[in-house]
């Protein structure tokens, strides 16, 4: 059925750590599937380890070729920790709830990508600015050149880290519930409740100069 990207099954996992164990038919290891998830959803959850304990921090990621990047304050505990250390970047898009005839077969339609690797800070200020420009332009094409230019101290206060995409997996579920054969005869409604991120009309900053209207890139933004 539609449960997982069958065409992608040919690409093998890069390591046993990223091999999808549960419902392995939902797993994919090809870059096209992984990149499509990363490119559709900037929200990421970054996992890292401090004193042996796991931490998970939400942030926004963007992809450039074979790396993902994320950024934040140079004083961020998360960024400080992941620089030179192992991290896990997980990106999840929820597409719907799968409503079945038994509790057991309820599920979620989703697209998720998990990347393992060692993160590293982008040190060079010029390279850092180019990366941040790419991030802004990825979200809002044309915005960077409309903005007040970045100040030297702003770039200093901002940390950008990157991680190569070389140990990664995707997991995808689509389609209707898969109930037990004998349950299909039951008089129970079953199906999918689809969902997506909805953008609402932009709200002007109340402190804005009069007469300004949102640029096209604001109305064009989509996520998921």
Q: Which of residues 85-114 bind a copy of itself (CB under 8 A)?
A: 86-90, 92, 94, 96-97, 99, 101-104, 106, 108, 110, 112, 114
Site for a copy of itself in 19-38 (CB under 8 A): 21-23
Least CB distance to a copy of itself at residue 42 (A): 9
Q: Which stretch binds a copy of itself (CB under 8 A): 6-14, 30-38, 62-70, 213-221?
A: 213-221
Task: Compare residues 10 and 153 and give the one whose CB is closer to a copy of itself.
Answer: 153
Q: Give the nearest distance from C-beta 149 to a copy of itself in angstroms.
A: 8
Check residue 152 for interaction with a copy of itself (CB under 8 A).
no
Using the structure block, give the residue that is written with the tokens 């932009």.
202
Does 13 engage in binding with a copy of itself (CB under 8 A)? Answer: no
Task: Spell out the residues 6+ positions from residue 28 whose beta carbon is closer than 8 angstroms to its own.
Answer: 4, 5, 8, 9, 11, 34, 169, 170, 171, 172
Is residue 62 involved in binding a copy of itself (CB under 8 A)?
Answer: no
Q: In whole angstroms, what is the distance from residue 76 CA to residue 61 CA?
A: 15
Residue 147 · residue 73 · CB < 8 Å: no
**CB 114 → a copy of itself: shortest distance, Å?**
7
- 174 near a copy of itself, judged by CB under 8 A: no
DSSP state of 57: E
The total of other beta-carbon atoms located within 10 Å of residue 91's CB is 23
Return the number of the residue (46 or 161) whose C-beta is nearest a copy of itself: 46
CB atoms < 10 A from the CB of 69, how many? 21
Number of chain residues interacting with a copy of itself (CB under 8 A): 97
Closer Cβ to a copy of itself, 25 or 204, answer by number = 204
Select the span of 2-10, 32-40, 120-128, 174-182 touching a copy of itself (CB under 8 A).
174-182
Instruction: Based on the shown chain and the rule CB under 8 A, indicate whether residue 145 belongs to the binding site for a copy of itself.
Output: no
C-alpha–C-alpha distance, residues 40 and 51, integer Å: 33
Which residues are CB-contacts of 73 (< 8 A; sequence separation ≥ 6)?
79, 157, 158, 159
Residue 178: CB minimum distance to a copy of itself, A: 10
| Phi/psi of residue 149, nearest 5 degrees | -55, 150
56 is a site residue for a copy of itself (CB under 8 A): yes
Cα distances (angstroms) measured from residue 128 to each of 58, 65, 122, 124, 132: 21, 16, 6, 6, 6
Q: Is 172 in the site for a copy of itself (CB under 8 A)?
A: no
């Amino acid at each position: 059925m539609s449960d997982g990207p069958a065409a992608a099954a040919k690409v093998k996992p890069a390591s046993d750590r990223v091999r999808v164990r549960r419902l392995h038919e939902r797993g994919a290891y090809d870059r096209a599937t992984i990149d499509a998830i990363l490119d559709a959803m900037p929200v990421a959850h970054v996992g890292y380890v401090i004193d042996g304990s796991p931490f998970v921090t939400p942030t926004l990621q963007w992809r450039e070729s074979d790396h993902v990047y994320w950024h934040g304050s140079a004083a961020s505990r998360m960024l400080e920790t992941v620089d030179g250390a192992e991290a896990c970047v997980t990106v999840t898009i929820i597409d719907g709830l799968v409503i079945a005839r038994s509790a057991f077969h309820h599920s979620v339609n989703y697209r998720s990508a998990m990347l393992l690797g060692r993160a590293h800070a982008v040190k060079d200020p010029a390279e850092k600015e180019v990366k941040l420009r790419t991030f802004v332009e990825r979200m809002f094409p044309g915005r960077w050149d409309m903005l007040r230019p970045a100040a030297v101290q702003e770039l200093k206060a901002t940390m950008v880290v990157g991680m190569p995409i070389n140990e990664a997996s995707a997991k995808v579920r689509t389609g209707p519930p898969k109930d037990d054969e004998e349950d299909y005869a039951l008089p129970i409604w079953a199906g999918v409740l689809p969902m997506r991120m909805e953008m609402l009309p932009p709200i002007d900053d109340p402190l804005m100069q009069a007469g300004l209207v949102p640029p096209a890139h604001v109305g064009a933004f989509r996520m998921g």
